Amino acid sequence: MKNKSPYKNNLRRFKSVKVRNSKKFTDQRKSHWIDTFINRGSAIAQIGTLALACFGYFYTVIPVFQNQKLQEDNARLQIDIEKKESVLAELQFKKDDLSSKFDRQKSTLNQLALELKSSISNLKDAQIRKVDAMSQASLVKSQLNDELDNLDSARWKIVFSDLSLLLAFAELRAYQKLSAAMYEEKNGSQFIKNAKNALIDPASILKEVIEASAKNNKYIPLEYHKKIEEHLNENKEKLACPAPDFDVLATNYEAELLQVESIVKKEAEDEIERQRAVAKNEGKLLIVDKDDLSRVMKSIRLGKEFDIRNKYRKEIYNYRDTCSAIIRSYTEKLRSNFNFKD
């Protein structure tokens, strides 16, 4: 071995290296092909898996999901159908009930129509009877109003007749009282003062007469006398008499009496002289003493006093007549106010 040449050794080493490199290259190629095959197989497997997944999704998952959805929709539809059938049954029941009620109402309506027809006929008859009754009622009312008017007129006639009678007696009593006061035998102007308390007051006399008439006529309602009394109270101020001043009258009367004393003696002497002249013309002689003069003076005094007294009495009577006229005027106004005529 030690005798071999270096060339052979190098060749042997070269061949050995070449063989090793060739094996290494072959191993590398073999390893590269396997890797390529594995990579391609892996890619193909992934594609196949994806295809299988897509196939499974489209032909397994989606149909299952759609089937489940169809079942849910079917269940909901079934529930809706049951509800609608229940509602339909209820509506059908209501329809039957309404139909039954409609038939009953129709029957009732027909009966009411017959009753209405009968009622209309009866109403026409009733209206005819009503017209007749109203006509009779109007006639009776008219007659009743006439009777009431006649009754009212008769009552007013009784009231005013009674008032007139009572008023006449009241005025007569007042006149007697006044006359008694003025003809009372007292000296001076006392009769004038007495007349002041005896004069009539129209309002007081009328009120007294109305109250007396209300008590006497028990069959006349009090409202008649109340109406007259209310009218009297409303017109009370218009019934006042313009009374004279009796104190002034008494003073004037006393003054005129004093004037009489101053002229009585002269008029008595004039009267005696007149009678003496008449006697002388007749060829007679008239003898007059002091007693004759006194008698003539007394006669003249009494005459003048009587005239003066009558003058003042007449003035007072005129006042009384004015008050009586006011009363008569008021009674006429009463009759006119209540539309009463004899």
* Residue whose entry in the numeric block shows the structure tokens 């004038």: 192
- pTM, full prediction: 0.50
CA distance 117 to 148: 44
- pLDDT for 324: 85
CA distance 321 to 314: 10
Residue 78 CA from chain centroid, whole number = 72
**pLDDT of the chain, 342 residues: tens digit per residue:** 444 455 556 656 555 655 555 655 566 666 667 777 787 777 788 887 887 777 777 777 777 777 777 788 778 888 878 887 787 787 788 778 877 877 887 888 788 778 878 878 887 887 888 888 888 888 888 888 888 878 888 888 888 888 888 888 888 888 888 888 777 766 677 888 888 777 778 888 888 888 888 888 777 888 888 888 888 888 888 888 877 788 888 888 888 888 887 788 788 778 878 888 888 888 877 776 777 778 888 888 888 888 888 888 888 888 888 888 888 888 888 888 876 555
- pLDDT for 238: 81
Q: Provide CB contacts within 8 A for 293, sequence distance 6+.
A: 268, 269, 272
CA distance 234 to 228: 10
Q: Of the candidates 227, 209, 219, 244, which has an alpha carbon nearest to the alpha carbon of residue 154?
A: 219
Helix H, strand E, coil C: the string for the chain is: CCCCCHHHHHHHHHHHHHHHHHHHHHHHHHHHHHHHHHHHHHHHHHHHHHHHHHHHHHHHHHHHHHHHHHHHHHHHHHHHHHHHHHHHHHHHHHHHHHHHHHHHHHHHHHHHHHHHHHHHHHHHHHHHHHHHHHHHHHHHHHHHHHHHHHHHHHHHHHHHHHHHHHHHHHHHHHHHHHHHHHCCCCCCCHHHHHHHHHCCCHHHHHHHHHHHHHHHCCCCCHHHHHHHHHHHHHCHHHHCCCCCCHHHHHHHHHHHHHHHHHHHHHHHHHHHHHHHHHHHHCCCCCCCCHHHHHHHHHHHHHHHHHHHHHHHHHHHHHHHHHHHHHHHHHHHHHHHHCCCCC
- pLDDT for 26: 63
Torsion angle (degrees, nearest 10) of CA 128, 133, 139, 145:
-140
- pLDDT for 208: 87
End-to-end CA distance of the chain: 203
CA distance 109 to 102: 10
Please provide residue 201's backbone torsions phi and psi, each rounded to the nearest 5 degrees. Answer: -115, 110
CA distance 62 to 69: 10
- pLDDT for 13: 59
- pLDDT for 11: 59
